């Protein structure tokens, strides 16, 4: 069955580039947008965790959405992170994203205030009723302190037709099986962890919301396509080649390692906003060597 809403198989959680004053660098943002389209991203998420959302103002988030939407020119979908641990703030952000032309929304489980499962149902239900856009739920208990249960996800997607997918950042693969069993066939599951993409595909995920795709999008897309066309060994081999990069880019808090690599490629300047700090020289060199090895090995395929 076709997905209720198809944002594609490869979604990139997009960085927000800054200049040396830590202001948003909109020219670099346009370069990254074009680069991700070339790297075969089907969609991008703007102003998410990888985009350093906690340090962005509402005005910056809106300008980023408009900039990326304009530069993409329909070549990829633009998904706006409109989540919040305040339901009313999430509703306002979601309505504004719809007004500004976002193609879909990403909405995270509320963080810090640790709502119950009933609280999650009411939170996401209120957001879904406030907009017409497709909504991708984002379950990341390591950051939020709350794990949204498969039964809660199933309730939400059955009750609200515009809740169409979940980005699942929980390494317990049994939960993917439970979501598949409880949710309608047209509900979509995305891996929220690059290294779990292939395992999750094997039990019903559609694709990945990726960080590594900033520098290895074509390779990740190849892995997904090979798996889905029955070339399992080729997919597994690509996973093994990508795995060191998947792990290396999370050696320090995201997005500091991936920004170091993008800087090495000349796409952005290597700046993050406090409280994050740029990676040290040793890790930067290790990251570059890891990416160079991947490029050398995949060029031989």
- The CATH code of domain 10-230 reads 3.20.20.70
| The Cα angle at residue 11 between residues 29 and 172, in degrees rounded to 5 | 130
Residue-wise pLDDT tens digits, 177-224: 999 999 999 999 999 999 999 999 999 999 999 999 999 999 999 999
Q: Compute the average pLDDT of residues 278-296.
A: 96
Q: What residue spans define the domains of the chain?
A: 10-230
Give yes or no for residue 243 having a pLDDT over 90.
yes
CA distance 286 to 282: 6
CA angle (274, 267, 245) in 5-degree steps: 75
Give the pLDDT confidence of 31-84 residue by residue, as tens digits. Answer: 999 999 999 999 999 999 999 999 999 999 999 999 999 999 999 999 999 999
- The answer to whether 18 and 24 have CB atoms below 8 angstroms apart is yes
Q: What is the pLDDT of residue 238?
A: 98
**6-21 per-position pLDDT tens digit:** 999 999 999 999 999 9
CB atoms within 10 A of CB 53: 20
- CA–CA gap between residue 109 and residue 94 (Å, rounded): 14
Asked if residue 150 has pLDDT above 90, the reply is yes
pLDDT, average across residues 267-272: 98
Choose among 180, 178, 199, 181: nearest CA to 189.
180
> Active-site residue numbers?
138, 167
Mean confidence (pLDDT) of the chain: 97
What is the average per-residue pLDDT within 103-119? 97
Question: Stretch 94-118: mean pLDDT, rounded?
Answer: 98
């Amino acid at each position: 069955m076709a997905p209720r809403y198809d944002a594609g198989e490869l979604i990139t959680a997009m960085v927000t580039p800054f200049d040396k004053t830590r202001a948003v660098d909109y020219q670099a943002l346009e370069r990254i947008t074009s680069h991700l389209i070339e790297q075969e991203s089907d969609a991008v998420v703007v102003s998410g965790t990888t985009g350093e959302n906690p340090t962005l103002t509402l005005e910056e988030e809106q300008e980023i959405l408009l900039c990326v939407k304009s530069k993409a020119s329909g070549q990829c979908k633009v998904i706006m992170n409109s989540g919040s641990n305040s339901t009313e703030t999430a509703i306002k952000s979601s309505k504004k994203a719809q007004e500004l032309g976002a193609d879909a929304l990403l909405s995270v489980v509320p963080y810090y205030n640790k709502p119950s499962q009933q609280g999650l149902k009411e939170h996401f239900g209120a957001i879904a009723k406030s907009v017409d856009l497709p909504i991708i739920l984002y379950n990341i208990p390591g950051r939020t302190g709350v794990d949204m249960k498969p039964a809660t996800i199933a309730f939400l997607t059955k009750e609200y037709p515009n809740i169409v997918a979940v980005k699942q950042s929980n390494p317990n693969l049994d939960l993917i099986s439970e979501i598949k069993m409880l949710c309608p066939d047209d509900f979509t599951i995305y891996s929220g962890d690059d290294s779990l993409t292939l395992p999750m595909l094997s039990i019903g995920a559609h694709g990945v919301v990726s960080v590594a795709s900033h520098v290895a999008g074509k390779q990740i897309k190849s892995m997904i396509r090979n798996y889905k066309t029955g070339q399992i060994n080729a997919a597994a081999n690509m996973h093994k080649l990508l795995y060191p990069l998947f792990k290396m880019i999370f050696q320090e808090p995201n997005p500091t390692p991936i920004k170091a690599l993008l800087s090495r490629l000349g796409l952005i300047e290597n700046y993050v906003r406090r409280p994050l700090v740029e990676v040290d020289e040793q890790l930067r060199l290790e990251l570059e060597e890891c990416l160079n090895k991947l490029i050398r090995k995949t060029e031989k395929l």
